[in-house]
Amino acid sequence: MGSPVGSAGKPAVTVRGAHREGPRTDPATGSETGSEADREAQREADREFGRLEERERIAREVHDGLVQNLAAATMLLRAAEYAAGPEDRLTERLGVLYETVLLALDQAQDLTYGAAYAQLSRGGLVAAVRQYATLAGRTMDCLVELDAVFRRPGTPPVIRLEVSGAVLPLPLPAESAVLRAVGEAMSNALRHAGAGELLVRLDYLTDRLVALVQDDGIGLGAGIGPGSAAEPARTGGLGLTGAERLVRQAGGVLTVESAPGRGVRVRVEVPGPGAAPC
pLDDT of 81-102, one tens digit each?
Answer: 666 666 667 777 888 888 888 8
Q: Which domain holds residue 172?
A: 157-278
Q: How far apart are the first and last CA of the chain?
A: 13
114 lies in some domain: no
pLDDT tens figures, 225-249: 444 433 433 444 457 888 898 899 9
54 domain residue, yes or no: no
Assigned domain for 22 exists? no
Query: Is 264 part of a structural domain of the chain?
Result: yes
Query: How much is the pTM?
Result: 0.69
Domain count along the chain? 1
Q: Mapping DSSP to helix (H, G, I), strand (E, B) and coil, where does residue 211 land?
A: strand
Q: Cα separations (Å) of 172 from 5, 103, 153, 176?
A: 9, 18, 42, 6
Nearest to 173 by CA among 256, 273, 103, 254: 273
Does any domain span residue 18?
no
- CATH number of 201's domain: 3.30.565.10
189-223 pLDDT per residue, tens: 888 888 889 999 999 999 999 999 999 988 876 44
